[in-house]
Structure 1
Amino acid sequence: MADMTELRNVEADASRFRTRVVVIGAVVFLAFCLIVTRLLFLQVVRHEDLAAQAESNRTAIVPIVPNRGLILDRNGVVLATNYAAYTLEITPSRAGSLDDTIDGLSKVVEIQARDRRRFKRLMEESRNFESLPIRTRLTDEEVARFAAQRYRFPGVDIKARLFRNYPLGEVASHAIGYIGRINQAEKARIQDSDEEANYRGTEYIGKLGIEQSYETALHGATGVEQMETSAGGRAVRKLSSRAATPGDSVMLSIDVKLQKLVEELYGSRRGALVAIDPRNGEILALVSKPTFDPNLFVEGIDVENWTALNESIDKPLLNRALRGLYPPGSTYKPFMALAALELNKRSASMIVNDPGFYTFGGRTFRSHEGGLGALDMHRAIQFSSNTYFYSLAVEMGVDTIHDFMKPLTFGQSTGIDLNGEVRGTLPSTEWKRNTYKRPEMKRWFPGETVSLGIGQGYNNFTMLQLAQAQATMVNGGTRYRPHMAKAVKNAVTGAVTEIVQPPGENLGYQPRNVDIVRNAMVAVNTGGTGTRVFAGAPYTSGGKTGTAQAVSLGQNVRYNAKALEEHQRDHSLFTAFAPAKDPRIALALIVENAGFGAAHAAPIARRVFDYWLLGEYPSEADIAAVQKGQASAPIGKPRAVADIPLSAP
């Protein structure tokens, strides 16, 4: 019996053992399956990802920032270039106490208060892990001094960088623009675009002018280097690389020597001038005075200079050519005359009496003292009769004027290849309804039409619009898109590619009507208000002087310049073209608060034409006379343009 019991116990133990073996075997098998599954997942499914991570642990991809393209004028003069220099840079996240770090650095290299302020501003605009310059353009001696004590300053390094340089300083600054460090808004915009990869490592971007408008061409293509790194992150050797492609050079249509001359002729006066080739829309000069030095902005402008520029009453940062809005004054009259002819509102021979005033709706509008008597259209333009054009405006009506002037780009975007252009105001009944909120202000009153005929009232345009309209009219009525850039030059191949412009649009003017207006403008310079200024010129030109109010004086208040502050005095305007029969240049300019157009604006136009058509540069005495508003025809012996050196003022 005992044997049987013992036998049953042995069999039970064996059964339990077998069960345990099976369970353990199943567990081992399951674990093995899990291991195999995990291995398959890692080796097959995540192979590429893990391989890349492993590779990144021993390699680093370093972007190679391309050299920025040059900006050249029409004659190949360099307006924007690059140069290499050393910078002292701090990565805030690695530097510990910034104040202590900067104080310690100041004992090794010179760090001024403005360097500290600029660094603080860059800190506010950037992320903590970015390398930011505390000093730029270090000398070799400063580089050596820091290198000897680099171990004391974690997170601080010397870097070799390319710096943008504008060798002519303030000349053409509004047209060329400048570059600056990429801010957070620009970073976000780049990240949302297809250009994100191309801007890795790039810290600067075009902010204004051509630098901004042609950023894509100027920037180039970013290259990459794959570097093998040590466990500490130091580069050991280069594994592969793709070179960066330098940015293309942008070749402009402006003649920078002409640009500099015009800026010099303005002297300390404020104003703007735009000169256009009426045959194709090329901008020959785009002047806004006063100017500024774009070199100040490249590394971040300091507080003192920014305050001086931003708070100046002369507004040097305002691009007056594109954004300055002015009533065109009497320079509007030739366009009113053309409208009358094209719309059959008046014939050129119709006589209008100018008694020196015009009365409408019980209000008297002033014209010439004593009046000009009986006038046809030719004499009305030549002697700038207000009465003639007051009455013409009333006969045409505001909406008819608007519809004719709109295709000439008055109050419209011209489409120039620069950002920031404003539209201005070309009034109409619809415009007034949409502009004003009070019901009584929405209505157009007939008396408001009167002043439109002489370029006053609600009329407000840019000099670019006025020059564009002038060029369109004198070439017979074909409107070309004004443009600054002519071509791009490939940095690698040297191939020059013209920038294709849209074809000109013919506005359909009758040639005989255009000739009537052009001949009257020629008479302005041969026997009218521009006679003294253009005396002795070996070419024939057309022009129109204008004087426009800067502030409203109220009804029946007589203008007295001496009784007004300088910024309240009338503006001096002039539009012109030359040669008369086949114009190669048309322009519009304003000298702010200078008074009569023939005294201050027309002399500048004469010197521009002498430069462009004759290759003559005015004498020093003549330039001084123009600056003072004491010039008419040129004085002194003119110099050959080719003999005048071009350098920063």
Structure 2
Amino acid sequence: VLSIDIQLQKLIEDMFGERRGALVAIDPRTGEVLAFVSKPTFDPNLFVEGIDVENWRALNESLDKPLLNRALRGTYPPGSTYKPFMALGALETGTRSAQTVINDPGFWMFGNHRFRSHGDGGLGAVDMKRSIVKSSNTYYYSLANEMGVDTMHDFMKPLGFGQITGIDLRGEVRGVLPSQEWKRNTYKRADQQRWYPGETISLGIGQGYNSFTMLQLAHAMATLANGGVKHAPHLTMATENVITRERSPLPTPPAVSLGYKPENVRVVLEAMQAVTTEGTSTRVFAGAGYASGGKTGTAQAVTIGQRDRYDARKLEEHQRDHALYVAFAPINQPRVAIAVVVENAGFGAASAAPIARRVFDYLLLDQYPNPQDLAAVRVGQASAPIGTPLKASEMPWPPEAAATSAPLRVTP
């Protein structure tokens, strides 16, 4: 018996359309996985009696990599979705207070190297809340420099970044949470093993060596939303006797408290809420019947020089930035935490956040996107829902039965 909501799972796959990416939704109160999506997918029936050469070649050689379980094994730089965790790290380690103000002129200098942030004069005076709401790179470049790579590593590790979460699926990958020790163990030549101070800077904005799965990102978001109490993510809830229908609940590991100060967690979660009311995802969550928190992110698929301007039109589609969004809802008693990436889709607010909005609408408001809205989401041309949503509990299930059967809601 799985925790997956199969109707939600299909809705998310439909919202991705032909795009590549992954989404993981977790109940932060229990660690139950509500949705575990990897796109593109494939028909597993092809393998039942042995797949033929033509179909195997099409799946195995496709540039879209449909056989890769992106939710479990796809690794990505987290981009700016990392900033709330960096902010919490600053508070918990005493590196910065929430009131500390940093000047953001649109760049940050480290020696003779210029790290770019916001152009056109930057953001000016930035405290912790504004650094998250407006996504200041300068704030986190300087914070990373102050914390150092090993302090960042030691804070992020218990959150599950670069670690095996222990989900009840085989094949999970670890990703990379860099440290000086990691670099010494990874590279062979002495000059490669050395950690250079300049390598620390980009880690603060979720770039550099950072590389995590959407499972890890959703797991960390769930832990933060739950006040620092961590539950192991899992999909299986019970076993059921196919004859008697008797269910036997499966044991789950005990919750682990990471010991965060409640006032520090509150600062970060309130800043993430402000992202949806005055920040980068405001338009997407306009008119929502609940309060949520989130953080948009854009992660490089290929390296762009600090002096070069990113122009998607000049890049091949597979070289364009990834769109990410992490979120939780509702604010006061979170029931769902999400991490989503849409590969090579650009800005998180345009492509990833609209998917998260509709997941929340489904789970919290029993709403389902109407055909026009769904079509807009699939091609990255939606913000807040278009028109009147449908009632999720009245949608036919299975979908093929729409014309012949009465509405049926399937719940976990």
- Scaled to the shorter chain, the TM-score interval is over 0.9
**Is 1:292 aligned with 2:42?**
yes
1:532 equivalent to 2:283? Answer yes
1:438 shift after superposition:
1.1
| Amino acid corresponding to residue 318 of structure 1 in structure 2 | L
Give the Cα–Cα distance (whole angstroms) in 2 for the partners of residues 276 and 534 of structure 1: 20
Q: Runs of 4 or more off by more than 4 Å in structure 1?
A: none
Rg larger for: 1
TM-score normalized by the length of structure 1 = 0.61
Q: Secondary structure at the match of 2:109?
A: strand
1:329 is the counterpart of 2:96: no
Structure (1 or 2) with the greater strand fraction: 1
What is the deviation of 1:461? 0.2
Q: Provide the residue aligned with 1:201 in structure 2.
A: none
Q: What stretches of structure 1 of length at least 5 have no aligned partner?
A: 1-250
1:635 match = 386
User: Equivalent residue of 1:415, what SS?
Assistant: coil
The aligned counterpart of 1:502 is: 253
Aligned to 2:234: 483
User: How far is 1:459 from its partner?
Assistant: 0.1
Find the aligned partners of 2:85 and 2:397 in 1 and give their Cα distance. Answer: 38
Check if 1:367 corresponds to 2:122.
no
CA distance in 1, matches of 2:229, 2:100: 28
Equivalent position to 2:105, from 352, 355, 358: 355
TM-score with structure 2 length normalisation?
0.96
d(CA) in 2 for partners of 1:615 and 1:587?
A: 17
Q: Does 1:450 align with 2:190?
A: no
- Tell me the alpha carbon deviations over residues 622-642 of structure 1, each in whole angstroms, 9 at most, x when there is no partner: 011111111000002111112
Q: Tell me if 1:345 matches 2:95.
A: yes
CA distance in 2, matches of 1:359, 1:266: 39
Question: Match for residue 596 of structure 1?
Answer: 347
Matched, 1:586 2:337: yes
**2:3 is the counterpart of 1:272:** no
**CA–CA separation in structure 2 for the residues paired with 1:361 and 1:464:** 36
Partner of 2:157: 406
Distance 1:617 1:462 in 2: 27
Report the equivalent of 1:521.
272
User: Hey, what's the Cα distance between the residues in 1 that align with 2:59 and 2:394?
Assistant: 34
Return the alpha-carbon distance in structure 2 between the equivalents of residues 593 and 494 of structure 1.
Answer: 45
Match of 2:132 among 371, 381, 385: 381
Return the alpha-carbon distance in structure 1 between the equivalents of residues 244 and 353 of structure 2.
45
Gaps of 5+ in 2: 401-412
Secondary structure at the aligned position of 2:24 is classed as strand
Q: How far has the Cα of 1:432 moved from its partner?
A: 0.4
Instruction: Find the aligned partners of 1:376 and 1:553 in 2 and give their Cα distance.
Output: 28
- Does 2:31 match 1:281? yes
Q: Give runs of aligned pairs for residues 91-490 of structure 1, distance below 5 A.
A: 251-370=1-120, 371-490=122-241
**Which of the numbers 355, 359, 364 marks the counterpart of 1:613?**
364
CA distance in 2, matches of 1:263, 1:628: 13
Residues 297-351 of structure 1: CA deviation (Å, up to 9, x unaligned) = 1111111111111111000000000100100000000000000000100000011
Q: Is 1:561 matched with 2:309?
A: no
C-alpha distance in 1, partners of 2:333/2:393? 25
Shift of 1:648: 6.2
Within 5 Å, give how 1:38-53 maps onto structure 2: none
| Cα distance in 2 between the residues matched to 1:636 and 1:497 | 44
Pairwise CA distance, 1:354? 0.4
* Match of residue 24 from structure 1: none
Read off the aligned partner of 1:457 and give its amino acid letter: G
Q: CA deviation at 1:374?
A: 0.2
**Aligned mates of 1:600, 1:569 — CA distance in 2:** 13
**Cα distance between partner residues in 1 of 2:290 and 2:15:** 21
The Cα shift of 1:647 comes to 3.6
Match of 1:577 in 2: 328
- CA drift at 1:486: 0.7
Counterpart CA distance in 2 for 1:557 and 1:350 is: 31
Amino acid of the structure 2 residue aligned with 1:342: E
Cα distance in 2 for partners of 1:381, 1:639 equals 33
Would you say the 8 A contact 2:116–2:306 is kept in 1?
no
Number of aligned residue pairs: give it: 399
**Matched residue SS, 2:191:** helix
Q: 1:546 is matched by which residue type in structure 2?
A: G
Say if 2:221 and 2:326, in contact at 8 Å, map to a contact too: yes
1:181 paired residue number: none
Q: For residues 295 and 103 of structure 2, what CA distance do their matches in structure 1 show? A: 21
Cα RMSD between the aligned structures? 0.9
Aligned equivalents of 1:555 and 1:341: distance in 2?
Answer: 29
1:413 and 1:361 mapped to 2: Cα distance? Answer: 36
Q: How far apart, in 1, do the equivalents of 2:201 and 2:306 lie?
A: 14
- Bigger drift between 554-563 and 626-635 goes to 554-563
Per-residue CA deviations over 1:263-286 (Å, capped at 9, x if unaligned) read 000010000000000000000000
Give the whole-Å Cα distance in 2 for the aligned partners of 1:359 and 1:417: 45
Counterpart code for 1:283: V
> Can you list the C-alpha shifts for 1:182-219, whole angstroms capped at 9, x where unaligned?
xxxxxxxxxxxxxxxxxxxxxxxxxxxxxxxxxxxxxx
C-alpha distance in 1 between matches for 2:119 and 2:190: 38
TM-superposed CA distance for 1:599, in Å, is 0.4
